[in-house]
Amino acid sequence: MSDVLRWLIGGLLLVFFAGAATTNIILAIRARLHGEHHSLVPFVGGLAGCLGLLILPLEALHAWWWVPLIIDIGAGYLMLAVVVVGVRWLLRRLRSTAGRDVW
């Protein structure tokens, strides 16, 4: 893939990420201040940002592919929810199998 095409596609993905992340932050603030409830679009913006950083022809940016997932509040909420649910499931499983050999 030519560098021009990589700049174009990567740049568009990063612009989309910036818009999605900004929108998610605005929606979260409005929900907190005004009680309005809107759906955050999980992972879409974060994944676009990850792909954008990986596609750009600057090798130094490739190591930072994970940052958009942390910055985008929609992806952050979803990742946190997955971790909480997973830990709760694991704790319930450990409590219910206490004293039995399950592994």
Amino acid letter, 5: L
Q: Could you give the CA distance from residue 91 to residue 66 in angstroms, rounded to a whole number?
A: 28
pTM over 0.75: no
User: How many residues belong to the chain?
Assistant: 103
pLDDT tens-place string over residues 10-57 = 999 999 999 998 988 888 888 888 887 777 677 888 899 999 999 999
Contact assessment for residue 29 and residue 38, using Cβ atoms and an 8 Å cutoff: no
Contact assessment for residue 10 and residue 52, using Cβ atoms and an 8 Å cutoff: yes
Six token digits for residue 24 = 């998610």
